[in-house]
Structure 1
Amino acid sequence: MSSATSRSSLPSGLAVLTTFPDVLFIPELIFGGLVWILIAASKVLDPTLLGWVMFVSVFCFVMTATLLFLYMCGAHGGSSSWVTLDAICQVTAALFYLSAAVLEAYYTIGLRALFTLPELRSIYQENIAAVVFAFVATLLYVIHQIYSLRRWKSS
């Protein structure tokens, strides 16, 4: 994989899938989508907490998919302002996902008592999976953020 951090422009077309950190769009979509699915499928006992997690997962999924599509179409046209936009989007996504992952973990700790009841165990297990995937998505967005900020600084 070539490094996009050594140049100031963003890749276009299928080159987006071969440059780092842009290749992280795909796992971000996968893990973000898994968080979205697990939260949507889980039983909602606290709508405020899970509402934020759902908002973050949907917002970041749509933002990431949109950026990936625009980069693949070459909509940036080599403009350096897109490097700034990329950095802002990655910082926002990393902060949003960190808050969502922590809130989901807090919520899941409160559901710990459900693990002892066999008929409710799946609710607890779905939330544990959502926590794990949310922290993986957070890690991916933080890595993407670091390299996007390095690319922005060099542009």
Structure 2
Amino acid sequence: MSSSTSTSTLPSGLAVLTTFPDVLFIPEMIFGGLVWILVASSKVPDSMLQGWVMFVSVFCFVMSFSLLCLYLCGAHGGGGSCWVTLDFICHDVAALFYLSASVLEAYATYSFHELSSLLAQEYRENIAAVVFAFVATLLYVIHKVFSLLRWKSS
């Protein structure tokens, strides 16, 4: 895999799937989709907290999928400066959103367990959602850092 710091442009076509950090689109969508599924399948005692987690997981999934499709189609035309900036901003926002959603999901899971309002299966689903949300956060942060390096070199 080629390094993002060696080039200041975004790859297009299937090269997106072979360059770092762009290859992170796939695991970001997998773990974000898992968060989405797990939160959607659990009972929601506090709809406000888990509503934010659902919004973040759906928003980031759609954003990542849209960017991946645009890069695969070559819609960015070789990755001018504005596309590199857009890539950094999108991953910066996603990392911040997922960090807040991960912390809120962890707090909700902890407080729901303390109130004994969740069954054992639902509690395990929420724990899995917390773990996957923190993994997605880590992936978005890594992608953000390397997008920042690409943006600074452009």
Q: TM-score normalised to the size of structure 1?
A: 0.95
* Count of matched residue pairs: 153
- The alpha carbon displacement at 1:128 in A equals 0.2
Q: C-alpha separation between the residues in 1 aligned to 2:75 and 2:33?
A: 25
Q: Deviations over 1:85-139 (max 9, x none)?
A: 0000000000000000000000000122477x9x810110000000000000000
Conserved? CA contact 2:11–2:19, under 8 Å: yes
Q: C-alpha separation between the residues in 2 aligned to 1:66 and 1:82?
A: 13
1:99 aligns with: 100
- Percent of residue pairs bearing the same amino acid type: 75
What is the correspondence of 1:1-155 to structure 2 with a 5 Å cutoff?
A: 1-78=1-78, 79-113=80-114, 120-155=119-154
Q: C-alpha separation between the residues in 2 aligned to 1:6 and 1:25?
A: 19
Q: List runs of 5+ in structure 2 lacking aligned partners.
A: none
* Partner SS for 2:45: coil
Q: C-alpha separation between the residues in 2 aligned to 1:132 and 1:124?
A: 12
Q: TM-score normalised to the size of structure 2?
A: 0.96
Conserved? CA contact 1:35–1:133, under 8 Å: yes
Residue 128 of structure 1 aligns with an amino acid whose one-letter code is: I
Conserved? CA contact 1:114–1:121, under 8 Å: no
Q: C-alpha separation between the residues in 1 aligned to 2:70 and 2:24?
A: 15
Q: C-alpha separation between the residues in 2 aligned to 1:47 and 1:113?
A: 17
Conserved? CA contact 1:4–1:11, under 8 Å: no
Q: C-alpha separation between the residues in 1 aligned to 2:119 and 2:113?
A: 10
Q: List runs of 5+ in structure 1 lacking aligned partners.
A: none
Residue 49 of structure 2 aligns with an amino acid whose one-letter code is: L
Q: C-alpha separation between the residues in 1 aligned to 2:74 and 2:111?
A: 46
Conserved? CA contact 2:4–2:149, under 8 Å: no
* Partner SS for 2:119: helix
Runs of 4+ in structure 1 off by over 3 angstroms are none
- The alpha carbon displacement at 1:54 in A equals 0.2
RMSD: 1.3
Q: C-alpha separation between the residues in 2 aligned to 1:7 and 1:42?
A: 43
Residue 66 of structure 1 aligns with an amino acid whose one-letter code is: S
Residue 67 of structure 1 aligns with an amino acid whose one-letter code is: L
